[in-house]
């Protein structure tokens, strides 16, 4: 069976988005600095970064695809859809599994519209529902059990989102957090790495770091 990731439509969209995202480092210098950025309200941060991709790496996308293929989750949740790069990897895995659905969330209306167009162009829109607004509220409506979670929105909100999802996590659910080398992820990492909180967690060396956590109980 040929992977959906090799389909020309999917590869074309991913290549275009990664090329556009390559300029992010030139535009943004404060994303990892809570003193300069994290004090603003979420909607203001979203609007200030409406043209910035902030994507997972290509290697991180391949990892997400592999994890989703292996786990075969019925429900996938993504916090921080942005322009839809990571969403395409997750949707491709769900498509190749022949089962499951991806629920994405995005605060920026402009990014949400662009992500919707990108998913349609890649041919994987049927596998995805995009939820507009604050993920701490909108993701409460996603039905469980949830088998895989990607946390790639505002770093200081990742722990809040995870806690909101925890009652619906399936036993053995995978939780993947991106950009874990950022100082603003310290509280999240302390939480998932503490055995009392019910996870087995390991750091994965992909660009700005990923943390892969398994819901153990």
Mean pLDDT by 10 residues, the chain (217 residues): 91 93 62 51 50 76 96 97 95 97 94 96 97 92 95 92 96 96 94 97 91 94
Q: pTM here?
A: 0.87
pLDDT at residue 25 in the model: 55
Phi first, then psi: give them for residue 113, nearest 5 degrees. -65, -40
pLDDT at residue 78 in the model: 97
pLDDT at residue 217 in the model: 77
pLDDT at residue 51 in the model: 57
Query: What pairing do the DSSP bridges indicate for beta strands 128-132 and 146-151?
Result: unpaired
Q: Return contacts of 152-155, CB within 8 angstroms, 24+ apart.
A: 152/56, 152/78, 152/79, 152/80, 152/82, 152/86, 152/177, 152/178, 152/179, 153/79, 153/80, 153/105, 153/107, 154/38, 154/42, 154/45, 154/80, 155/38, 155/179, 155/182, 155/184, 155/185, 155/188
pLDDT at residue 41 in the model: 53
d(CA 209, CA 149): 16
Least Cα distance to 206 among 37, 84, 49, 55 occurs for: 55
**Are the C-beta atoms of residues 173 and 149 closer than 8 Å to each other?**
yes
């Amino acid at each position: 069976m040929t992977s959906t990731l090799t389909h020309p439509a999917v590869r074309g969209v991913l290549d275009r988005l990664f090329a556009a995202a390559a300029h992010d480092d030139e535009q943004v210098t404060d994303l990892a600095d809570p003193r300069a950025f994290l004090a603003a309200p979420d909607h203001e941060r979203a609007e200030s970064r409406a043209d910035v991709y902030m994507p997972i790496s290509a290697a991180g996308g391949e990892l997400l695809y592999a994890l989703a293929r292996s786990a075969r989750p019925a429900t996938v949740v993504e916090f921080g859809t942005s322009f839809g790069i990571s969403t395409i990897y997750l949707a491709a895995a769900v498509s190749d599994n022949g089962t499951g659905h991806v629920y994405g969330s995005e605060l920026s209306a402009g990014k949400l519209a662009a992500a919707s167009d990108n998913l349609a162009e890649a041919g994987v829109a049927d596998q995805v529902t995009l939820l507009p607004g604050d993920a701490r509220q909108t993701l409460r409506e996603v039905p469980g059990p949830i088998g895989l979670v990607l946390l790639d929105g505002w770093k200081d909100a990742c722990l809040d989102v995870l806690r909101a999802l925890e009652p619906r996590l399936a036993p053995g659910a995978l939780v993947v957090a991106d950009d874990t080398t950022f100082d603003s992820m310290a509280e999240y990492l302390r939480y998932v790495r503490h055995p009392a909180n019910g996870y087995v967690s390991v750091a994965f060396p992909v660009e700005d770091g990923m943390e892969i956590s398994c819901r153990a109980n």
